[in-house]
Amino acid sequence: MEVQVKKEVKHRLSRWIREERWPHIWCSGCGLGIAMSSMLYAFEELNLDPKEIAIVSGIGCTGRVAGYVKVDSYHTTHGRPIPFAIGLKIAKPEMKVIVFSGDGDIIAIGGNHFIHAARRNFDLICICVNNFNYGMTGGQFGPTTPYKAKTTTTPYGNFEYPFNLPYLAASAGATFVARWTCLHAYHLRQSIKKALQRKGFSFIEIISPCPTGFGRPNKIGEGLDEMKYYKEKSIIKNGIDPKDAELSLMGGNIVVGEFVDINKPSYLEILMENNERIRREEK
């Protein structure tokens, strides 16, 4: 009789995931799995050493990423991943420090830290998963919720205008700015790879389905329906002024692409140069 030997099949990303923390908490149809795996595939393709990467998140469903990834990772308080990551990068400039968090976390409570990190061209990769609501706490509206969109706290439709995140990042001083949806997993991975290989403040917005907090109340439906919407309505426009990067989940288009990629001395380069100069002058 032939003896069957069971072969253990390992996922291609298993060296990057804390499997002991599985199953994850995300709802079916949520885009966060694609957002996270796009980053992990970028690590894999660049053949990075887990020891050279640190991931910092705040709270929320997106914030869980820090707990699931097998690198040095930090789940910080609400809105504070950027200042935490700045401290980390100054202490360990040789590490690739990534902030991976939600729109509520980075742009609402953490908005001030975001604009100043961009202004300083601080050497960080900031990935913001924008699902247009506060997913984890029950689907409240936030600063990226579209005008007229329904959330638990805007049952009659949101009457505030949202931020255009790439425009905000670029006008504050970010030197690499991109936006992709979870459908654009290939492009997203390429942008993350680019960001991992450059200095300065890189900002990547990932438009992601949240069927629970956003899709259903706005009659978009499930995660797959939102992905179909992205397929129908997204247009790639690399290199355009981000102020023209339209974003509509309410019937209009979603403009995606790499909008900004410029060279400007980064915060750490300026800091090192100044330290050198002061040392020379004091001799």
Position 135 contacts ligand SF4 (CB under 6 A): yes
Smallest distance from the beta carbon of 147 to ligand TPP, in angstroms? Answer: 18
User: Which of the listed partners (ligand TPP, ligand SF4, none) does 154 bind, with a CB threshold of 5 to 8 Å by partner kind?
Assistant: none
Q: How many residues does the chain have?
A: 283
- Closer CB to ligand SF4, 129 or 254, in the complex: 129
Name the residue among 57, 66, 42 with its Cα closest to residue 195.
Answer: 42
- Closer CB to ligand SF4, 17 or 27, in the complex: 27
From 130-138, 174-182, 188-196, 224-232, span contacting ligand TPP (CB under 6 A): 130-138
- Closer CB to ligand TPP, 39 or 260, in the complex: 39
User: Which of the listed partners (ligand SF4, ligand TPP, none) does 30 bind, with a CB threshold of 5 to 8 Å by partner kind?
Assistant: ligand SF4
Residue of the chain from 110, 166, 211, 242 that contacts ligand SF4 (CB under 6 A): 211
Position 136 contacts ligand TPP (CB under 6 A): yes
- Closer CB to ligand SF4, 144 or 175, in the complex: 144
Smallest distance from the beta carbon of 142 to ligand TPP, in angstroms? Answer: 6
Position 162 contacts ligand TPP (CB under 6 A): no
* Binding track, positions 4-43, relative to ligand TPP; x by CB under 6 A: ----------------------------------------
Q: What angle do CA 140, 146, 147 make, to 5 degrees?
A: 105
Q: What is the 3-state secondary structure (H, E, C) of the chain?
A: CCCCCCCCCCCCCHHHECHHHCCCCCCCCCCHHHHHHHHHHHHHHCCCCHHHEEEEECCHHHHCHHHHECCEEEECCCCCHHHHHHHHHHHCCCCEEEEEEEHHHHHHHCHHHHHHHHHCCCCEEEEEEECCCECCCCCECCCCCCCCCCECCECCCCCCCCCCHHHHHHHHCCCEEEEEECCCHHHHHHHHHHHHCCCCEEEEEEECCCHHHHHCCCCCCCHHHHHHHHHHHEEECCCCCHHHCCECCCCCCEEEEEEEECCCCCHHHHHHHHHHHHHHHHC
From 99-107, 192-200, 257-265, 267-275, span contacting ligand TPP (CB under 6 A): 99-107
Residue of the chain from 16, 32, 58, 59 that contacts ligand SF4 (CB under 6 A): 32
User: 199 is written with which tokens?
Assistant: 């200095």
In the numeric block, the tokens 């992709």 are attached to: 180
User: Which of the listed partners (ligand TPP, ligand SF4, none) does 253 bind, with a CB threshold of 5 to 8 Å by partner kind?
Assistant: none
Residue ranges binding ligand TPP (CB under 6 A): 59-62, 78, 102-105, 131, 134-137, 142
Residues at the contact surface with ligand SF4, assessed by CB under 6 A: 26-27, 30, 32, 61, 131, 135-136, 210-213
